[in-house]
Chain A
Amino acid sequence: MKKSRRSFLKVAGVSALGIGVAPAIKAVAASSAHAAAEATKTKNPEALTAKRWGMVIDTNKLNDEVAAKIVEACRKTHNVPDFHHEPDPEKFPKNRPVNQKQEVKWIWEEHFHNAFPDKEDEFLAEKFKNLPFLVTCNHCKNAPCVQACPTQATFKRDDGIVLMDFHRCIGCRFCMAACPFGSRSFNFRDPRPFIDEVNPDFPTRTKGVVEKCNLCAERLAKGLQPACVEVSEGAITVGDLEDPNSEVRALLNEKYSIRRKQELGTEPSVYYIM
């Protein structure tokens, strides 16, 4: 078939028009679809909120049994590894032997003279000498770990919870050096062999990150109280320190309480009722 120059130019003109117009039509269609709905991110409606989260531990209601239950509940909820036994050699054949110094701590028992070294007293009431004081991250108002962290993996949320972003932690351990309470632990090894029952609702950690208590931020977001509060039989209360009508403030008004290493000025949010 032979084409005249005239018919060729006609076809070329129409196709050029088509090539020019199609993207314009597409762009218009896309922008109208875009305007229809925009993806948004929101909090769960049932989430518990506070201006500044705090914890009150009533030492009168603590005994060894309750303390052990609390530590266990925290462990299970957050897949905290337990370095008290060798893992199953069948499941994890290439495991190095356990080293107790690699312990990971979220909430743990401490003696009075370790928890409150500044309040040590020769004639201290007998009951304090034997009490298991539960210590944990204090979620300080002026958290030194947050200031020390070079990658902002540790940060303070607006509601006062000092959190770890495990995705960002480079394992430099500056935060551990900065924390005056020893509340942070480093994962020297893969923790999974030391977790008896993995809770699928919370990630395990990996070798090379620092971790600590997160005040059950993931449970608060679902409208649940922290795991330790649930099993504490009233010994631990968590609530809003800045709300004068909150349960924690009522407790603090009623009874005498102390905080750990107050003279350092980190303003801990964990109170101990004596």
Chain B
Amino acid sequence: MSKNAIMAGLAVFVIAALFPIWFNFGGTEAAPEPELSAKAKAAGKCVLDKYDMRANHMSLLDEWRDSVVRDADRKYNAANGKQFQMSLSTGENSCLGCHEDKEKFCDKCHTYASVDPYCWECHTTPKEINQ
């Protein structure tokens, strides 16, 4: 009798433990590609190279915000010889100054990866304002 109960309990446990695996099985979609705006395409070069940027843009932004707010250093002379304004959302040569469409460039991947950065609670995109 107790053997049956144990087996039933075990079965329930295994199913529950493996639920996340089989729930997501087969339903995977390909990771989205961020869409480059015409401006970004024309510029050709970003702050770091493409793969470095993909992996490390969050640490770069973190470094930038400290530098701007706390040291008032606002210009970034990148290793590739280009100059950037250390600003997320405003002006020429800033992040959104080039990657104009936040939805197509940032949100696409962030949504896919369930990453919800709180940058946009304070920073605004020009597009958002015009809505």
Contact = CB atoms under 8 A, between A and B. Distances in A.
A143 to B, nearest CB: 15
Interface of B: prevailing SS:
loop
Contact of B124 (A40, A44, A157, A198): A198
A216 interface: no
A200 B89 contact: yes
* Size band of the interface chain B makes with A: 20 to 34
Interface stretch (A2-10, A117-125, A127-135, A160-168): A160-168
A204 B128 CA distance: 13
Given A201-B91, A206-B121, A40 B77 contact: yes
A42 B73 contact: yes
A150 to B, nearest CB: 17
Given A198-B124, A200-B126, A200-B129, A41 B67 contact: yes
B72 to A, nearest CB: 6
A200 B121 CA distance: 13
Contacts of B90: 200-202
Interface string B6-44: 000000000000000000000000000000000000000
A3 B118 CA distance: 62
A37 interface: yes
Contacts of B115: none
A42 B122 contact: no
A98 interface: no
B122 A166 contact: yes
A41 B129 contact: no
A200 B91 CA distance: 9
9 closest residue pairs by CB, A with B? A203-B122, A206-B121, A41-B73, A37-B79, A39-B79, A203-B123, A40-B77, A198-B129, A42-B75
